[in-house]
Chains A and B, each alone.
Chain A
Amino acid sequence: MRRWLLTLVVALILAPPVARAQVTVQVYALPGGGGSPHDVAVGADGTAWYTAQRSGQLGRLDPGTGKADLIPLGPGAAPHGVIIGPDGAPWITESGTNAIVRVDPQTRGVRRWPLPEARGYVNLNTPTFDRRGRIWFTGQNGVYGRLDPKTGDMQVWDAPRGRGPYGIATTPDGAVYYASLAGSHIARVDLDTGVATVIEPPTKNQGARRVWSDSHGRVWVSEWNSGNVSRFDPRTGGWRTWKLPGERPRAYAVYVDDRDMVWVSDWGANAMVRFDPQTEKFEAFPSDRPGANVRQILGRPGEVWAPESGTDRLVVYRVK
């Protein structure tokens, strides 16, 4: 009996944490000439699309074979954000040429919707679809906007506090929020009027860079300046804030997976960090290379994808 108990105790001590054992990491090196992946999006079939910002291309990675190829987006292109639309196609905030771009996943044809010329260069950042098939986008020079691909109608609004609109996301109930990095706030957009209402996080000058929603419609925010991850609950108007571990965390991107686990890229620790809101514990997955510089995170059920812009690699964290 004593020996059995001893064996059990030793086994418990030696066993890796349960959550850690559930995650496997796979790294994909990207082809030369199309590196510096800025954003990534994974389709229902598992194909990963990424913006090769430096070379003005859209990358397409087949995770089964590990092979990636590149689709040119035209002269002057410097794509920033990419998401998969309800039509299954990659949609891009094409910062270099000031346009919203769709790439046909079959023909690879590129279609562009330029912003109104009178707006000038807006530094397009990130897109999101609402539940009515319209794509909303941010422009870091101080705008946000909306395109209805069915009609081609595009509206662009001045952001309430000028420059800063960065990450943008849609909650399960269809609400659209964006983060303002320079403005240190988040904003909720009225889908009919386009009016953006500023919502202040509790930490001053926190540098809200990206937002994502959990399954309850609570909005998670990665705070670049403060190194916090924070959560806004639209039902109560309340906030919770947690400091990432380490001496000088810098929270760049945030994403909430299908289990409501919160993933944050921390440039201070050169790591992806997973936060469990139930236990309020962080778990770090450091990159095996210095300067990973993950600028965005996206996934699908069971997978969390992170583009390492500093190492020219895509990394997928598979959760079982």
Chain B
Amino acid sequence: MTGPAGLLPVVLALLLAPLPGARPDPLRGERVFQRCYACHSVIAGEDTLPGPNLRGVLGRRAGTMPGFEFSPAMLEAGTARGLVWTRRTLDAFLADSQGMVPGMTMTMLGLPDADDRRDVIDYIEQAN
């Protein structure tokens, strides 16, 4: 049998554990964005990276940011399939990027963790 002192780590762990559906955390999202950082920016004017600038991406049709040369796969997703970036479509894209837009240039495989996706979308949305 475990005494009260032995239960302390369990109680602490329960208190410190994130709750399901915890509040959005853009600061954590900025850390998650390190997965995207090599190719993307949310800072206005940083337009010479390998991927498109994500500032203002929500509401934009896929493959249409002026001045960026998208892959044929991403162009097709925007024009033929009518893909528009919303929180929902961006979440699905980050969950399985190649599955959603097969053949695109981006190699980043996506973010399997739903909290990671939510927080990084919060971070990108803030930049909007």
Contacts and interface: CB of A to CB of B under 8 A. Distances in A.
Contacts of B107: 38, 53, 80, 295, 309
A182 B50 contact: yes
Contacts of A141: 34, 37-38
A291 B109 contact: no
A163 interface: yes
A189 B31 CA distance: 29
Contacts of A140: 38-39
Interface in A293-318: 293, 295, 309-310
A142 B34 CA distance: 11
A181 B50 contact: yes
A54 B98 CA distance: 9
A207 B50 contact: yes
Contacts, number: 49
Interface residues on B, range: 10 to 19
Given A181-B50, A205-B48, A123 B35 contact: yes
A175 B72 CA distance: 38
A121 B34 contact: yes
B39 A182 contact: yes
Nearest to B96: A54
A290 B102 CA distance: 12
B37 A54 contact: no
B99 to A, nearest CB: 9
B24 interface: no
B73 interface: yes
A163 B103 contact: no
A142 B48 CA distance: 15
A164 interface: yes
Contact of A163 (B35, B38, B72, B73): B38
A94 to B, nearest CB: 13
B37 A163 contact: yes
A57 interface: no
Nearest to B31: A120
B49 interface: yes
Interface in A60-111: 78, 80, 96
B11 to A, nearest CB: 28
Contacts of B39: 140, 182
Nearest to A270: B72
Contact of B109 (A78, A184, A267, A310): A78
A207 B69 CA distance: 13
- Among B48, B50, B103, the one with the most A-chain Cβ atoms within 10 Å of its Cβ is B50
A224 interface: yes
Contacts of B48: 182, 184, 205
B35 A291 contact: no
Contacts of B38: 123, 140-142, 163-164, 182
Nearest to B35: A121
Interface string B95-108: 00010001101010
Interface in B77-128: 98, 102-103, 105, 107, 109
Interface of A: 36, 38, 53-54, 78, 80, 96, 120-121, 123, 140-142, 163-164, 181-182, 184, 205, 207, 224, 267, 290-291, 293, 295, 309-310
28 contacts: A38-B107, A53-B107, A80-B107, A120-B31, A120-B34, A121-B34, A121-B35, A123-B34, A123-B35, A141-B38, A142-B38, A163-B37, A163-B38, A163-B49, A182-B38, A182-B39, A182-B49, A205-B48, A207-B50, A224-B50, A291-B72, A291-B102, A291-B103, A293-B103, A293-B105, A295-B107, A310-B102, A310-B103
